[in-house]
Amino acid sequence: MKAAPFEYSRVADIDEACALLATDDGARVIAGGQTLVPMMAMRLARPTRLIDINRIAALSYIRLEDDALAIGATTRQSLVERSALVKETLPLLAHAVPHIGHAATRARGTVGGSIANADPAAELPLIAITLDATFNVRGGGKTSDIAARDFFVGPMVTALPEGAILAAVRFPVWRGDRIGVGFHEVNARRSDFAFVSAAAQVAMKADGTCERIAIGVGAVTDFPMRLDSAEQALQGTALDDDAVRAAVSQALAGIEALEDLHASATYRQRVAIKLATRAIIDAREHAHGRPPHAH
């Protein structure tokens, strides 16, 4: 199949893009197009107009801003993957990005595009939720911020205001010498979307106890979720394997997991417990400068 007819507009700045969005209910923004174009080819998406924001240079960057690393919405995923600054300041993001699709899709796919698409199984929304990212949004001539926890509403549904565009993502940077990360996902093939994914970041004290911890799971519910109760239970502990497993199991005990032709709800819940446990233990070992346990 091929896409239904549509108009095409290449804009010079973000406000021009927002103005076009506001005047055409059927318009869609395109940057990398790694999700939108296949959907158009199958006629699952039929935009009346594509608004191309690729030429807006101000939307592509990776830079430190106070205590956060800011990444422009049209920044290619491959640039994030290769960035020394990302590796230094956001090791969890650096660890997760190579799991996104193929090298070819990362070369075209954008950070903002993946987040705005809000696929429950996508890696970037999971990392944004886990690290308490903030999304910078532009619309109607005004700029505002939306916390990652408030942005994702459901599968492919976000709180992005009508006529607005995601302009940037700001990831808080954890400071310290004993920070460790862990990331795991399960899929049919390495390049496919995950059936279940889990991410963890920890900051350990010199005495071997956990000073700070963030845990997230993806592809299990309508959008990535933080395991707040497990974080509270594990903070201040040595992250003993049994304690980690118990805290994660309790946090995931009552969830309503997704079920589809790829995986049952029972499978997703069971695997989420295993992957989140592994991610935390890997993060602990990473923080201590040791290789992670074999699983």
> What pLDDT score does 48 carry?
84
Summarize pLDDT for 230-242 with one digit per residue, the tens: 999 999 999 999 9
Judged against a pLDDT cut of 90, whether residue 39 lies above it is answered with: no
Q: Of 2.30.40.10, 3.90.850.10, 3.30.465.10, 3.60.130.10, which CATH number belongs to 59-172?
A: 3.30.465.10
Domain boundary assignment for the chain: 7-52, 59-172, 179-287
> What pLDDT score does 35 carry?
79
Mean pLDDT of all residues in 122-130: 97
**How far is 13 from 125, CA to CA, in rounded Å?**
25
Tell me which amino acid residue 212 is.
R
Is the pTM higher than 0.85? yes
Mean pLDDT of all residues in 96-125: 94
Beta strands 210-218 and 196-204 are antiparallel
- Mean pLDDT score of the chain, rounded to an integer? 93
Q: Please give the order of strands across the beta sheet that includes 49-52.
A: 7-10, 49-52, 27-30
Q: Work out whether the CA dihedral 169, 113, 221, 247 comes out positive or negative.
A: negative
Summarize pLDDT for 153-209 with one digit per residue, the tens: 999 999 999 999 999 999 999 999 999 999 999 998 777 789 999 999 999 999 999
> What pLDDT score does 295 carry?
44
Mean pLDDT of all residues in 77-95: 97
Closest CA to 119 of 219, 212, 39, 33: 219
Select the more confidently predicted residue: 43 or 139.
139
Mean pLDDT of all residues in 128-151: 96
**How many CB atoms sit inside 10 A of residue 38's CB?**
12
Select the more confidently predicted residue: 254 or 275.
275
102-125 residues labelled b (16+ CB within 10 A) or e (exposed):
eeebbebbbbbbbbbbbbbbbbbb
Judged against a pLDDT cut of 70, whether residue 293 lies above it is answered with: no
Mean pLDDT of all residues in 255-268: 92
Judged against a pLDDT cut of 60, whether residue 137 lies above it is answered with: yes
pLDDT category, 1, cuts 50, 70, 90?
low
As a whole-number percent, the residues of the chain with pLDDT over 70 amount to: 98
Mean pLDDT of all residues in 95-120: 94
Tokens 């995601």 belong to residue: 166
Tokens 């926890």 belong to residue: 149
Judged against a pLDDT cut of 60, whether residue 294 lies above it is answered with: no
CATH topology of domain 7-52: 3.30.43
Judged against a pLDDT cut of 80, whether residue 280 lies above it is answered with: yes
Q: Work out whether the CA dihedral 253, 260, 197, 135 comes out positive or negative.
A: negative
> What pLDDT score does 292 carry?
62
> What pLDDT score does 30 carry?
85
> Residue 143's beta-bridge partner residues?
138
Mean pLDDT of all residues in 222-227: 96
- The CATH class, in words, for 179-287 is alpha beta
